[in-house]
Amino acid sequence: MGGTINLKIWCLRKGDFFMQVLITGGTGLVGSVITGDVRLSSKDADLRDWNQTFAIFDKYKPEKVIHCAAKVGGLGGNMNYKGEFFYDNIMMNTNVIEAARQVGTKRLLCFLSTCVFPDDVEYPLSEEKVHLGEPHFSNYPYAYAKRMADIQIRAYKEQYGVEYFTVIPTNIYGPNDNFDIKNGHVLPSLIHKCYLAQQNNTDFVIWGSGEPTREFVFSKDIGKFADWAIDNYKEVEPIIVSSTDPIKIKDVVGLIVEYMNFKGNVVWDRDKPDGQYRKPSSIEKLKSYLPDFEFTSVQDGLKETVEWFYNNYESVRK
C-alpha cells in the first residue's frame, strides 16, 4: 500500500500520471465520442514518426489504448491520395502497436474498416474473410495498410501474449466529421454540397448513379461499442460493427434534401465513380456478445448531424 503511494508520488514528480485509457486520433469523428483519460491529436505527436510515437506512449504508459488515428477519406480521398493513404496508415499502425507493447499496454483496440474485405467474396462479409482476396481497386492501399494491423496484432498476441484486437466498422458519420467535398465520405460531403447549393442557388450534384448501397453507422454507436469492447472483448479475431441496414445512395440523398429543406435541382454526375456496388456485412458475432445493442437509425443520426453541421459551420473540417 505504502509502496503504491510512494510510486504515485514519484510518478507525479516525474510529470507523469496514472492513466487508464489513451485515445489516439482523439479529435476525430470517432475518437471524440469515446470515453478516455487522454485524447491525442496530431499536434501531440505525429504517429508516423517512431520517436514521437514512443515518446508520447512512454510519457503516459497507458494501460489501455483505443487507436483511432488514421489517414481517412471517402472514395475520392482514397483514389486521389493512394500513396499517403498507404504510407500514413501503415506507419501509424505499426508505430502505435509497437510503442504500446514496449510500454506495457495491456489492451488495445485498433479500427479497421469494411473496405479491407476482398472485392470478390461471398456476401455477407464476415470476420474470417478479411484476407481471402484483393480489396476493391479504389482503396487497396488503405485496405492493405489496415490488413497489416490485423497481421501485426495476431503476431504480437502469439509472441507476446498481449490482448490487442481489431474492430471493423462500416461507413461512419456524425458530428465532427470531415465535410471536405472532394475527399470526405459520402454523407458529410453531400451535406456540405447541399448547403453550398442552397447558399449559391446552384445544382446539388451527386456522384455516380445513386444505385450503390452502403451500411451507415452513427459515430456515437461506435463510441458506445468501443467503450464496451476495450474492457470486454477478448478475441484476437476482428469484430464487425454495422447497423446492417443497407440503404441506396439515392435514398440518403432524398433524406438530406428533406432535412436540409433543399428546393433546387438534384443532378447525377455519371462520369463520377460508383465505387463498390454493395458490401453487406454480418453482425452475427456482435449480436452474440451484445444481443440488445441498439443502433441509431440513419434518419435520426442524419438529422442530428445536419443540425450539428448548421450550428458549427464556421469551424467544421471542410
Secondary structure (DSSP) of the chain: -HHHHHHHHHHHHTT----SEEEETTTSTTGGGS--SEE--TTT--TTSHHHHHHHHHHH--SEEEE-------HHHHHH-HHHHHHHHHHHHHHHHHHHHHTT--EEEEE--GGGS-SSSPSSB-GGGTTSSPPPGGGHHHHHHHHHHHHHHHHHHHHH--EEEEEEE-EEE-TT-B--TTTS-HHHHHHHHHHHHHHHT--EEEES-S--EE-EEEHHHHHHHHHHHHHH---SS-EEE-----EEHHHHHHHHHHHTT--S-EEEETTS---SS---B--HHHHHH-TT--PPPHHHHHHHHHHHHHHTTTTSB-
25 binds, among ligand NAP, ligand GFB, none (CB under 5 to 8 A by kind): ligand NAP
Q: Least CB distance from residue 265 to ligand NAP, whole Å?
A: 28
Question: Is residue 147 a contact residue for ligand GFB (CB under 6 A)?
Answer: no
105 or 113: CB nearest ligand GFB: 113
Question: Is residue 69 a contact residue for ligand NAP (CB under 6 A)?
Answer: yes
**Residue in 68, 58, 49 with CA at minimum distance from that of residue 100:** 58
The stretch near ligand NAP (CB under 6 A) out of 40-48, 79-87, 121-129, 204-212 is 40-48
Question: Is residue 108 a contact residue for ligand NAP (CB under 6 A)?
Answer: no
Question: Is residue 28 a contact residue for ligand GFB (CB under 6 A)?
Answer: no
Q: Least CB distance from residue 103 to ligand GFB, whole Å?
A: 29
30 binds, among ligand GFB, ligand NAP, none (CB under 5 to 8 A by kind): ligand NAP
* Identified catalytic residue from 140, 142, 164, 233: 142
The stretch near ligand GFB (CB under 6 A) out of 43-51, 148-156, 182-190, 232-240 is 182-190
| Sign of the torsion angle spanned by Cα atoms 206, 208, 209, 212 | negative
Residue 101 cell numbers, joined: 507493447
The CB-nearest residue to ligand NAP is 28
What's the chain's length in residues?
318
Question: Is residue 185 a contact residue for ligand GFB (CB under 6 A)?
Answer: yes
Using CB under 6 A, count the residues that bind ligand GFB.
24
Is the Cβ–Cβ distance between 120 and 134 less than 8 Å?
yes
Question: Is residue 260 a contact residue for ligand GFB (CB under 6 A)?
Answer: no
Q: Least CB distance from residue 285 to ligand NAP, whole Å?
A: 17
Q: Choose which of 21, 22, 25, 127 interacts with ligand NAP (CB under 6 A).
A: 25
75 binds, among ligand GFB, ligand NAP, none (CB under 5 to 8 A by kind): ligand GFB
Show the site string, 216-255: x = touches ligand GFB by CB under 6 A, - = not: ---------------------------------x------
Active site residue 60: no
Question: Is residue 94 a contact residue for ligand GFB (CB under 6 A)?
Answer: no
Write out the residues near ligand GFB by the rule CB under 6 A.
74-76, 78, 113, 115, 139, 142, 171, 185-186, 189-190, 193, 206-208, 212, 214, 249, 273-276
Instruction: List contacts with ligand NAP (CB under 6 A).
Output: 25-31, 41-43, 46-48, 68-72, 88, 92, 111, 113, 169, 171-172, 178, 185
Catalytic residue ranges: 142
